[in-house]
Amino acid sequence: MTSHRFSNALPLLAVLGSVTALGIGTSFAKQLFPQVGSLGTTALRVGFSALLLLAIWRPWRWALSRVDAVSILRYGVALGFMNLLFYMSLRTIPFGVAVAIEFAGPLAVALFSSRKPIDFVWLALAFLGLGLLLPLGPGVAGLDPEGVLYALAAAVCWGAYIVFGKRVGHLHAGQSVALGLSVAALAVVPFGVWQAGSALLDPHILIFGLGVAAISSAIPISLEMVALKRLPQEAFGIMTSMEPAVAALLGLLMLDEHLTGVQWLAIVCTMLAAAGSSFTTRREPPQSAAAKVVL
């Protein structure tokens, strides 16, 4: 009986572990901002993540057509700038708030593909959550407009990442993720070098960056593979919808980022919209949250 219960709980624990590892990785990464800036941190995280996944998957083992190569290029560029813009938003707005705003991207893609009446409820919740976070009212007057704009731009890139990701969905997951991250690294590392320069070569920073990449890529992807084999798509989507809350809690515990009641309400609205959308929209192969290496 105990073994059966553990077997049932294992995929749920795996998703929770994946989301938590992503959040911890980002919380650690933000601590690099004073040394190498947001662009330098992005370069370290995406660059080392690409190297780790290249070593794990060795994507050159599979053939790649010219059409697929172009699709990988678009997919990787969207992935790279999604990470870069998200990290730039973290300079001035809390982690949990940035994740909630960025969720507008995948929510828009999911809801656009569905026409069920119930989906308008999730759309309304998404708009409500986003509206509560935008620096338009007295409840969120302290939220930096520039940081919000960067998070919204990251949301657009996340949506593009999902659209382009579907075009490489027929490839082996390890091949598409490893090559996509490699393209992402080529796209964003020059920005990090431009901002941080030789500081990126400091041994302590390199080791810290490697650790962040491992926590943010190898561990979550391994855990999600366990979950994806055992969970239906809607359950996986509902579980990953807790990312904004996990990010907000880790931001509080690790970064001392305190949110207002309005911001917490916005995060709850975003989570409900994401969970509802995952349950009712058209069934398609799930996108791995760990594969995007965004949180």
Which residue reads 């490699």 in tokens?
A: 182
Burial 19-54 (b: 16+ CB within 10 A, else e): bbbbbbbbbbbbebeeebbbbbbbbbbbbbbbbbbb
**pTM: predicted TM-score of the whole model, two decimal places:** 0.88
Residue 267: per-residue pLDDT: 93
DSSP string, 135-169: TTSGGGTTS-HHHHHHHHHHHHHHHHHHHHHHTTT
Among the listed residues 128, 125, 123, 133, the one whose alpha carbon sits nearest the alpha carbon of residue 100: 133
Report pLDDT digits (tens) over 21-56: 999 999 999 999 999 999 999 999 999 999 999 998
Alpha carbons 252 and 254: distance in angstroms, whole number: 6
193, 43 contact by CB (below 8 A): yes
Which residue reads 């069934």 in tokens?
A: 283
Alpha carbons 27 and 50: distance in angstroms, whole number: 20
Residue 4: per-residue pLDDT: 57
The per-residue pLDDT string of the chain (295 residues; one tens digit each, 9 = 90 and over) reads 556 565 667 777 888 888 999 999 999 999 999 999 999 999 999 999 999 999 988 999 999 999 999 999 999 999 999 999 999 999 999 999 999 999 999 888 877 776 678 888 888 888 888 888 876 544 445 688 899 999 999 999 999 988 898 888 888 888 888 999 999 999 999 999 999 999 999 999 999 999 999 998 778 877 776 776 666 666 667 778 889 999 999 999 999 999 989 899 999 999 998 888 877 765 555 455 444 445 5
Residue 287: per-residue pLDDT: 52
Residue 290: per-residue pLDDT: 44
